[in-house]
Structures are given as C-alpha cells and as structure tokens.
Structure 1
Amino acid sequence: MLPTNSVAKIISICSVFLIVPVHASTDSPSHAAQYEHRFFKTLDTLEENALQTSFSNELQSRRIEHLSASLLGALYEDGNLGEGLQGRYDKDPLMRFDAFDCTTYVEAVLAGAMSQSKATFEEKLKQLRYKNGQVEFIYRNHFPSLDWIPNNQDKLTDITHIVAPDAVQLAQATIDKPSWYKNMKASRLKCEDEDSLSCKQRLTQLQEEGRHFQPKNSTIAYVPLSAIYKKGEDINATSINQHILDKIPSGSIISMVRPNWEIKKWIGTNMNVSHQSIAIRKGDRLYLRHASQTHKHVIDEDFITYFSKYVDNASLKGFNVLIMKDL
C-alpha cells in the first residue's frame, strides 16, 4: 500500500508530476544562482565554439554533454516546476536550475542544446514541456509515451530500432487521463488551507479537466534488458552485449520502460515509462546522467551497473533511446 504522505517512494515516478510534490528545496538563492550562471556560461562558451566549426550530430552531442555536466550536483525534487504565478492549478516556477526531477532535468538540458542564448532558452523549454508550447496544466506533456515523446517528434528521433534491430520490443499501456485527473488531491494545489472553500472549488475544477480527454492506448519501443544481459550468467564483462551498448550515442535520451505498469489503483492510470535520463560516454564507458530519486541529486551512474539491478525486476523490462534532431 502506498504511503499517504508526500513522498510516495514505492512508485518511483519522477517524470510526470504524478505523485504529490515533496517539500521545497532548502538550497539558498545564491546556490541556485550558481547553477543557473554555470549553465548559461556553458551555453555561451558552446555558442562561441560553434561559430568556429560546422554543425553536426557530434556537435549536438557535445552540447548535451557539457550542458548536462554543468548541472551535476543539483538537487532532486519531485514536482518542483509548474506554470508560474499565472498558472491556474500549479503556480510553481516555470523554470529553476537548482533542483529537478528526471524529466525537468532532461528538458532543461535539451532546451539549452536547442538555444543560442539565455534569451531563447525559455521559449525552447516551453516548446518541449507543453503541447504546441501552450503553457497550461492541461497541455503539459505529463506522460512520456503518450505526450512528451509524440509531441516532440519534431525535435527528437526514436532510434531504439537502430540500436537493437533484432531485439526491440513494444510496451503497451492504457493511459487513463480522465481517471488520473479525478484522482488528483488538494495537496497538488498547494493551498494555504486545503479545507477552504476556494481550494475545494479549484480541486473540483482540476478534477473536471479530465473531461477533455479519453483513455488512450500508448505504445513505446524498447531494448529489453534480456538483450543486454545474458540470462543465467553473472553480471560481468563477458555477459554483456557490448554491440548494442556501442550503438547508443552520447547525449541520447534514455527512458526506462515498464510494459503496462499496473499502478492505476494508486494514481488513477497505468503507465509504461517510469524514469528518464541522458546517456553519456566517457572514454569506452557508458553512463546514465540523471536526476536520481535514490541519490537525491543529479549524478552519473555506470549504465551497465544501473540496469543490472533490474534484470530480475518484475516491471522494468528495458529502455527507449531518443536522439535530438538537427535543429
């Protein structure tokens, strides 16, 4: 049974603001400003270097590598961003740089990679996070396989079938948005008084937003872990399918796939993606760079070691691979 407090750790959903947000970060304003300064200084340096070379996929990967590295150490925090003060239901800041969940971290890095300067960053972020860039809760790309990936097809390319052409599988899930909205609680709104009439009215309005949607089947391609780790052998260098791993470009977006993840009784809908991260190459090693719920900050973890923990997992079966298009 899920805990009733705000940190619902049993379901590790960092990507779509499905769990009630945790308490605000205790990072000082100056600490937050340091991450923002470092991020945009990195962007400026990359732009200066870009003027001296031709644009290529390699350059795009390098931008993602450097921008993502500038945020290493930033705190992990569920549901820390919203639509800003003008938001009807979620008035958390539209952007910040000192704390992320897994998807907002990926979004910040990609928006930076697509930007030429700080001046263009916010618009790029809106285009990634919201359908058609329309900043409203109901247009936010809440669900990776149903919203975030399909609505960003003009920016991202799914190369899962290229990484593992003979092993790729499809994960299904019915995303029930009406039920998800109906399952919303007052804590989502962060009212000063959750028992107040105004808060109850806003909650009713939020729950009724589900009328705009219908349950939809969502499909996502994934590389099964069974194609990476040879069944029945120890997890070591001789049991790893390095051929597949070598096809994953540095700077790729890695989404953890759980086919028909049965969590509807807790959040109102099932899902098929539970986490998002960035693949980073350092020499001959592949790493996952991500906002980690376990470690509570942005961290690099060895790719092989990370996924080896899930080989016998009942629900996490593999990963999807996306790359950013030349924009």
Structure 2
Amino acid sequence: MKNYVRFHFAYVLPILTPQRFLVLCLLVLAGLLSASVSAQTMPDDLRSLSIVGGKTLPETAVTIGKQFLGTPYVPHTLDINAAEQLVVNLKAFDCTTYLETVLALSLAWQDLTDKQNQAQLNVLFRSYLTRLRYRNGVINGYASRLHYLSEWLRDNERKGLLKDVSGELPGCLSVAKPVSYMTTATYRYPHLSDPAIFKQMADTEAEISQQSFYFIPKKKLKQAEAQLREGDIIMLTAARPGLDMKHVGLAVRQGNRLHLLHASSEQGEVVITRYPLTDYVQWHKRLSGIRVARLKGTPPQTASRPQ
C-alpha cells in the first residue's frame, strides 16, 4: 500500500497543474450546487419563485432578475455532465446563465395563458432556455452550445427573440475581431480535450472571426447612454485579443442613471453595480465598450429621461 501511494502521487502531481486543479474544484462545486433536472421535473426554486409580470417584456425581465439578487456566482455550472444536456440551475449562476435564466422565465411568463399553471410555466421555461442557449435551439453536443456571446446574439436575433440595436446608437463603430479564447485556453474547458469537439469549436471561432459587428467604444458611451433603456441586454466587450465579450447583464434604472444588474464574479453573487453603467465600463481596463440588444416586443421609447 505504501508503495502504491507513493507511486500514485508521483504520477498525478506533475499532471495536475494549479490551473487544472482549480477547474476541477469549480466543476465539483458546480455539480454540488446544480439543480439539473429532467424534463418532467420542476425545480423547487421555480415553484417558490414569485413572478410579477411587468407591462412590457423588458420590465418583466428586470422584475424577475431582481429576485435573484444575492444568488451565488459559480462558473462552469453547465459542464457537469459528460454528455451535453439542458441544465436548469436557479441556485448559482455565471453571467451568461443568469441572463439566459431571466430571459427564459420572462419569455415563458409572457406566453403563459394560465398564470397559475406552474407545470406549463416549467415546460415553456425549459423550451425557451434551450432555444436561447443552443445554436438553432437544438442540443447536439458541447459545441452546439452558444459559448461566444457574439454568436449567442446573432443566433437569438435570427430566432426572432431579440434585436441587436448597437448599430442604432450614437458613437457606434463597426469592427471585426478574431476570437480564439477557448481553443487557446483549453485548460479551462476540459471538453476540448476531445479532438472532435476541439475542431468544432475551432471552426466556430473561425466563422465568428469573419463577422463584423457594431459596438459602442467606452469613450463614446456617454453619447449613447441617453438612448439606452431599462431592460436592455448589455454586453461588455473585451479589450484583450481573442475574446469578443467579457461580461453581460441587464440595464436597470437607479435614480436617473442606468446601472448593471448582473452575476458578478468580483462580488461573488448577483448584484446591481454600485456605479452607473457608463462609469462602471470606464473604470474597468479590461473592457473596451458595450453592445446592446433588446428583447423583441420592446415598445418604442417615447421620451428620454434625464441622464
């Protein structure tokens, strides 16, 4: 036994780098917190959720989003299964799963004919969550998940769920940015150790890299702020090479300024930024600006509030 133990550690330690050990710990934690359920099961969190719909879809999204304030931030909650499947987790979020959950609940609530029918709400919620999270709304392996927010936005606009309005805002610029983050940081993504999945992701990155998009640089953000609306989907563009967007959340009004409602890795939970959105982006050196999407069915803005 002693010889076995010595051999075991001598063999494992050189392979288990600090980065891989961190990812392993996060995956274990994600598994413990996950509320992954079958299609026939309604998570207890959904039963206890008190949804109060707003007059508009964005208003409903903000109302639902605020109910998750204080929910822990945990990355990699979708990577707990060997085979890709829909994961429903209302106990822990990263920034993207938080947004997807809030939007799916809002869209489901809008379509719900009987607001007291929780079983119907569960079915609609899971359907919208699948549509939002996967390319063409179809689960077909790890690479079918919309990992990059650029593709997430484009795919969900094509589905008719939302609209990219970045190009309509003052100060916008059109750019094309090559992405390669996932395939150059494979230690963060254990599934990419499979050569077939790696190739699929590399092909996806190559396609995204060829597509131009509009964004508002941080130095122009003050110009665009008056045109932003509560409930807008705010995607924070990354300054670093190889990555399109670094973060995402919802615009919420605090007083006469818009702030960001988001799952924060820095604060470890769902929060509303202490500072207005414009100041928040300016303060973060790793951000280059924003992209803005709007849920379909958002009414036209009749008058701008003072900023």
- 1:278 match: 250
Distance 2:201 2:228 in 1: 37
Distance 1:4 1:28 in 2: 22
Q: Does the 8 A contact of 1:171 with 1:272 survive in 2?
A: no
Name the amino acid aligned to 2:271: I
Shift in Å, 1:211: 7.0
Distance 2:134 2:71 in 1: 23
For the residue of structure 2 that corresponds to 1:174, the secondary structure is coil
Structure 1 residues 214 and 310, CA gap change in structure 2 (3 angstroms): closer
Deviation per CA, 1:88-131, whole angstroms, max 9, x where unpaired? Answer: 2x56x611101011011111111111112222100100000001
Q: Does the 8 A contact of 2:101 with 2:129 survive in 1?
A: yes
Shift in Å, 1:204: 4.1
For the residue of structure 2 that corresponds to 1:62, the secondary structure is helix
Q: Does the 8 A contact of 2:179 with 2:206 survive in 1?
A: yes
Shift in Å, 1:27: 5.6
Q: Is structure 2 residue 234 aligned with structure 1 residue 254?
A: yes
Q: Is structure 2 residue 46 aligned with structure 1 residue 36?
A: yes
Distance 2:134 2:21 in 1: 25
Q: Does the 8 A contact of 2:172 with 2:215 survive in 1?
A: yes
- 2:122 match: 118
- 2:91 match: 98
After superposition, the CA RMSD in angstroms is: 3.5
For the residue of structure 2 that corresponds to 1:112, the secondary structure is helix
Distance 1:221 1:6 in 2: 38
1:97-246 equivalent positions in 2, closer than 5 A: 97-115=90-108, 116=112, 117-135=121-139, 136-145=141-150, 147-153=151-157, 154-164=160-170, 167-176=171-180, 180-181=182-183, 184-185=186-187, 188-189=190-191, 203-210=194-201, 213=204, 215-216=206-207, 217=209, 218-228=211-221, 241=222, 244-246=224-226
Q: Is structure 2 residue 285 aligned with structure 1 residue 288?
A: no
Determine what percentage of the aligned residue pairs are the same residue.
19
Q: Does the 8 A contact of 2:72 with 2:270 survive in 1?
A: yes
Name the amino acid aligned to 1:320: R
Shift in Å, 1:36: 3.2
Q: Does the 8 A contact of 2:148 with 2:244 survive in 1?
A: no
For the residue of structure 2 that corresponds to 1:278, the secondary structure is strand
Deviation per CA, 1:48-80, whole angstroms, max 9, x where unpaired? Answer: xx7xxxxxxx51121111110111111111111
Shift in Å, 1:209: 3.9
Q: Does the 8 A contact of 1:171 with 1:258 survive in 2?
A: no
1 or 2, which has the higher helix percentage? 2
Q: Structure 2: any 5+ residue segments left out of the alignment?
A: 1-16, 36-42, 113-120, 299-307
For the residue of structure 1 that corresponds to 2:282, the secondary structure is coil
TM-score (norm 1): 0.67
Shift in Å, 1:247: 1.6
Structure 1 residues 188 and 292, CA gap change in structure 2 (3 angstroms): same
Shift in Å, 1:206: 3.3
Name the amino acid aligned to 1:207: F
Q: Is structure 2 residue 19 aligned with structure 1 residue 4?
A: yes
Name the amino acid aligned to 1:322: A
For the residue of structure 2 that corresponds to 1:100, the secondary structure is coil
Structure 1 residues 137 and 246, CA gap change in structure 2 (3 angstroms): same
Structure 1 residues 301 and 37, CA gap change in structure 2 (3 angstroms): farther
Q: Does the 8 A contact of 1:171 with 1:257 survive in 2?
A: no
Distance 2:135 2:189 in 1: 25
- 1:299 match: 271
Q: Structure 1: any 5+ residue segments left out of the alignment?
A: 9-18, 51-57, 190-199, 229-240, 263-269
1:71 to 51, 56, 68: 68
Q: Does the 8 A contact of 1:103 with 1:276 survive in 2?
A: yes
Q: Does the 8 A contact of 1:183 with 1:207 survive in 2?
A: no
Deviation per CA, 1:190-239, whole angstroms, max 9, x where unpaired? Answer: xxxxxxxxxx9x734433544765713243322222124xxxxxxxxxxx
Q: Does the 8 A contact of 2:34 with 2:89 survive in 1?
A: no
TM-score (norm 2): 0.71
Structure 1 residues 142 and 213, CA gap change in structure 2 (3 angstroms): closer
Give the paired residue count: 259
Name the amino acid aligned to 1:297: E
